[in-house]
Amino acid sequence: MPHFKDAMIAKTHHLTADITGSDGKRAIIINLDGKYADSLHEWFGAWYHKIGNTGRPIDGQVKIGSTPEEALDWWVRSQGFVFSEGQ
């Protein structure tokens, strides 16, 4: 399966992101330099950084995007990274 995103960030780290699951309840698994870094979760068309044990967003949690691209961009920026040019 091709990666959802395969890019250099901050010119020193290699990011790969894969989408798993089905529409409405998907997850983006993020790896930096070949090691697990984090995950983002979709809940019926909205993306969140962390979800509760129930598999849904925690009360009051802020949506980080409406698309996987927006969510991943949020994550990269929240970690202090930027995509290298052309990514």
Phi and psi at residue 59, to the nearest 5°: -50, 130
CB 72 within 8 A of CB 8: no
Band of pLDDT at residue 23, cut at 50, 70 and 90: confident
Band of pLDDT at residue 10, cut at 50, 70 and 90: low
Write the Ramachandran bin of 70: left for phi over 0, alpha for psi from -120 to 50, otherwise beta.
alpha
Single pTM value for the model: 0.81
- Report the pLDDT averaged over residues 57-71: 92
Mean pLDDT of the chain: 87
With a cut of 90, say whether residue 17 has pLDDT above it: yes
- Report the pLDDT averaged over residues 52-75: 90
In whole angstroms, give the CA distance from residue 57 to residue 6: 27
